[in-house]
Amino acid sequence: MGGDIKDPGADFSGSGPVEYAPAEVTPQGTLGELLATEQARLLAIPGVVSVGIGHGPAGGEALVVGVVDAGVAAQLPREIKGVPVVVTVTGEVDALPQR
């Protein structure tokens, strides 16, 4: 059979359950500071419903902005102080009633 596989990697078959414990991600440094300074300004734009930190198209960190429609998205910058802005059309966001 094929000798194409030189190093198949670790064999985890039968190793049992693996604990999933992701590290907590906390906005730090300049990106957290940028969020703190720009969040209120972005949320003040009619049609902007959310602002946070996420991943850009190249996998790096970005400001992620949720908007109600593409018209609002067209008004937003593509970057702020060198940080990419990723805009997602989410539509209206309403809080669920308390039970």
Summarize pLDDT for 54-98 with one digit per residue, the tens.
Answer: 988 888 889 999 999 999 999 999 999 989 999 999 888 777 888
- Own/partner contacts of 65-72, CB < 8 Å, gap of 24 or more, are 66/90, 66/93, 68/92, 71/47, 72/45, 72/46, 72/47, 72/48
Mean pLDDT of 7-15: 63
Answer yes or no: is pLDDT of 3 > 70. no
The band of 1, judged by pLDDT with boundaries at 50, 70 and 90, is low
| Contacts (Cβ under 8 Å, ≥6 apart) of 43 | 51
- What is the value of pTM for the model shown? 0.65
Residue pair 64/40 in contact (Cβ under 8 Å)? The answer is no
- Return the pLDDT at 25: 46
- Own/partner contacts of 42-47, CB < 8 Å, gap of 24 or more, are 42/76, 45/72, 45/75, 45/76, 46/72, 47/71, 47/72
